[in-house]
Amino acid sequence: MKDILQELEDRRAVARLGGGARRIEAQHSKGKLTARERIELLLDEGSFEEFDMFVAHRCTDFGMEKERPAGDGVVTGWGTVNGRMVYVFSQDFTVMGGSVSETHGQKICKIMDMAMQNGAPIIGMDDSGGARIQEGVASLAAYGEVFQRNIMASGVVPQISLIMGPCAGGAVYSPAMTDFIFMVKDSSYMFVTGPDVVKTVTNEVVTAEELGGALTHTNKSSVADGAYENDVEALAETRRLIDFLPMSNRDRAPVRPFFDDPARVEMSLDTLIPDNPNQPYDMKELILKLADEADFFEIQAAFAGNILTGFIRLEGQTVGVVANQPTVLAGCLDIDSSRKAARFVRFCDAFEIPILTLVDVPGFLPGVGQEHAGVIKHGAKLLFAYGEATVPKVTVITRKAYGGAYVVMASKHLRADFNYAWPTAEIAVMGAKGATEIIHRGKSAEEIAALAAKYEDRFANPFVAAEKGFIDEVIMPHSTRRRVARAFASLRGKKLTTPWKKHDNIPL
């Protein structure tokens, strides 16, 4: 009996060594943790339960039958993050470069199926040379099976991808379909075709980092939602994000203990809006002052800075925040910000996370470039996302809400539940000068200036909209936290239905 138990221990020890000490050393020398070290840091201590530790590939080509490492290049299983269950897979680059074989894919599919069945998030740690070259089409099939599960799991359980090494070719499409992608600076990259192929086909010379590194994907392409300094930081931030999210669409987000008075008054907000309407101010200040303990988990912080997206808590409950940022492009909506916010709104709606919208938007960004790149379709994404969302929606207009952008930003007309405005709000079709020039075409500059002042007096305030009931209340800036927290509290029982449909056809 003792020998039998010992054999299990021995087999486990071999499996845990992955590709062996030399390759582990090579992994460490690149500043990367191993697959198992990553799992240890991601999950609560001692909570990891492994599946399929002894699974080995079945390939017999190219002499592969001689080397059949236990685990086949991916560590899978489940554990907890602050006591809440998650499923994980972590590709082991020390075993054949973490390449995906038929059996490697089956291991990932198994935990994805269990995650969907049991209602818990899937966190993938990607570090792989891609399709296992020796296995050919069997490897492509394995990817296809994973992709199909990414699609099935979308909107059912949160899916998070941590890119911690190479992720190239068609392999990128699995993380691309997950809800959040985080990358590690200088040690991860994602591209459909690498620098060598790019050079051959287009003659462009580019490094892997420039083509698809963490900064490229968080600043330029917006493929990734966050870039972190190293594996440890990426894993710690993922734990922080999981704390904001429900385990599945059958659950609500967790309610965390809070030590911040929901009725806290913030007198400084009364002077947040500058006297000059063209002067910017930092909307992040408002978000931090509204949030419990000033805790804001920002999504896509480095992309489309004219809109802010992320999670806060109010009375311990998760709220998704979308906010125009006047310090960037005066807070205008454009293609990038519309796409960024639309995807965020749809995530919140899929997982029953209420949405707080903070509005200071002078309109859509004008320009040939915007029009030719399809701002109509992309702007419509955000409009569509807000209009279809059935979660509790609370909107606060702090200053400008002009034109189409007024309607788009969770207005009353898109089924928002509470629409508040600060006394500094200006809600109108367009700015006073432009409006006057159109209505009074041909008048002299002095006359236009006088008429514009009149127009401004009449419309640059929240009261015309409040008279019509489009604004439910004009509120004091200093009491915004209390008003918003009470609004969400009153909406906890919200139920809203939409006409039956197979699915909608959001403009893509």
Q: 366-394 burial string, b = 16+ CB within 10 Å, else e?
A: eeeebeeeebeebbbbbbbbbbebebbbb
Ordered DSSP codes for 131-175? B-GGGTHHHHHHHHHHHHHHHHHTTTS-EEEEE-SEEEGGGGHHH
Q: Phi and psi of 331, rounded to 5°? A: 80, 10
Cα 32 to Cα 471: distance, rounded to the nearest angstrom: 52
**124 lies in the site for ligand HXC, by CB under 6 A:** no
The sign of the CA dihedral 270, 272, 275, 278 is: negative
Query: C-alpha angle with apex 405: 402 to 408, nearest 5 degrees?
Result: 135
Nearer to ligand HXC, 29 or 279 (CB): 29
φ and ψ of 355, to 5 deg: -120, 125
Residue range at the interface with ligand HXC (CB under 6 A); choices 7-15, 78-86, 169-177, 363-371: 169-177
Question: Length of the chain, please?
Answer: 508
The reply on whether position 71 binds ligand HXC by CB under 6 A is no
Of the residues 169, 212, 331, 379, which is catalytic?
169
Is residue 430 involved in binding ligand HXC (CB under 6 A)?
Answer: no
Using the minimum distance from each CB to ligand HXC, give the nearer residue, 152 or 496.
152
CB of 128 to ligand HXC, least distance (A): 8
Residue closer to ligand HXC by CB (options 169, 226) is 169
* Closer residue to ligand HXC (CB): 102 or 360: 102
**Total residues contacting ligand HXC (rule CB under 6 A)?**
16
Tell me: does residue 34 bind ligand HXC (CB under 6 A). Answer: no
Q: Please answer whether residues 58 and 103 qualify as being in contact, where contact means their C-beta atoms are separated by less than 8 angstroms.
A: yes
| Catalytic residue from among 20, 31, 136, 170 | 170
Tokens representing 313 are: 């808590």
Four-residue CA torsion sign, 403, 338, 415, 325: negative
Q: Which of 87, 143, 364, 488 binds ligand HXC (CB under 6 A)?
A: 143
Q: How far apart are CB 455 and ligand HXC at their closest, in Å?
A: 58
Q: What are phi and psi of 342, to 5 degrees?
A: -65, -45
- Choosing from 130, 158, 331, 354, the residue that interacts with ligand HXC (CB under 6 A) is 130
Stretch that binds ligand HXC, among 151-159, 163-171, 275-283, 453-461 (CB under 6 A): 163-171
Q: Does 363 bind ligand HXC (CB under 6 A)?
A: no
- Min dist CB 104 to ligand HXC, Å, is 10
Give the closest residue to 308 by CA, choosing from 296, 294, 293, 317: 296
Q: Does 164 bind ligand HXC (CB under 6 A)?
A: no
The interface with ligand HXC within residues 12-31 (CB under 6 A) comprises 23
**Closest-CA residue to 276 (of 328, 323, 326):** 326
Strand partners, 395: 357, 419
When the beta carbons of 171 and 380 are compared against ligand HXC, the nearer one is 171
169 is catalytic: yes
Contact region for ligand HXC (CB under 6 A) — 132-140, 309-317, 343-351, 385-393?
132-140
- HSE-up of 199 (CA within 13 Å, CB side)? 7
Part in contact with ligand HXC (CB under 6 A); list of ranges 94-102, 119-127, 179-187, 479-487? 94-102
Q: How far is the CB of 147 from ligand HXC (least distance, A)?
A: 7
Q: Stretches 2-10, 124-132, 346-354, 493-501: which one binds ligand HXC (CB under 6 A)?
A: 124-132
In the complex, what is the shortest distance from the CB of residue 139 to ligand HXC, in angstroms, rounded to a whole number?
7
Residue that is written with structure tokens 């939602």 in the block: 225
Q: Which helix (H) or strand (E) holds 298?
A: strand 297-299
Of 414, 417, 415, 397, nearest to 357 by C-alpha is 397
Is residue 59 at the binding interface for ligand HXC, with CB under 6 A as the rule? Answer: no
Shortest Å distance, C-beta 60 to ligand HXC:
15
Query: Do residues 419 and 471 lie in contact, with contact meaning Cβ atoms separated by under 8 Å?
Result: yes
405 is catalytic: yes
Binding ligand HXC (rule: CB under 6 A), the pick from 86, 96, 123, 319 is 96
Among 36, 132, 399, 483, binds ligand HXC (CB under 6 A): 132
Tell me: does residue 169 bind ligand HXC (CB under 6 A).
yes
Minimum CB distance to ligand HXC, residue 94 (Å): 8
* Of positions 71, 129, 175, 387, contacts ligand HXC by CB under 6 A: 129
Applying CB under 6 A, does 105 fall inside the site for ligand HXC? no
Annotated active-site residue 404? The verdict is yes
User: What CA–CA distance (Å, rounded) separates 354 from 350?
Assistant: 10
What is the residue-wise DSSP string for 61-79? GGGGGG---TTTTEEEEEE
Task: Output 124 or 166, the one with its CB closest to ligand HXC.
Answer: 166
**Nearest approach, Cβ of 196 to ligand HXC (angstroms)?**
9
DSSP for 335-395, written as a single string: HHHHHHHHHHHHHHHHTT--EEEEEEE--BPP-HHHHHTTHHHHHHHHHHHHHH--S-EEE
Catalytic residue chosen out of the listed positions 119, 194, 316, 404: 404
**Residue 386 binds to ligand HXC (criterion: CB under 6 A):** no
116: its two tokens: 């969907």
Establish if 97 lies at the interface with ligand HXC (CB under 6 A): yes
Active site residues: 169-170, 404-405
- Give residues in contact with ligand HXC (CB under 6 A): 23, 96-97, 99, 129-133, 140, 143, 166, 168-171
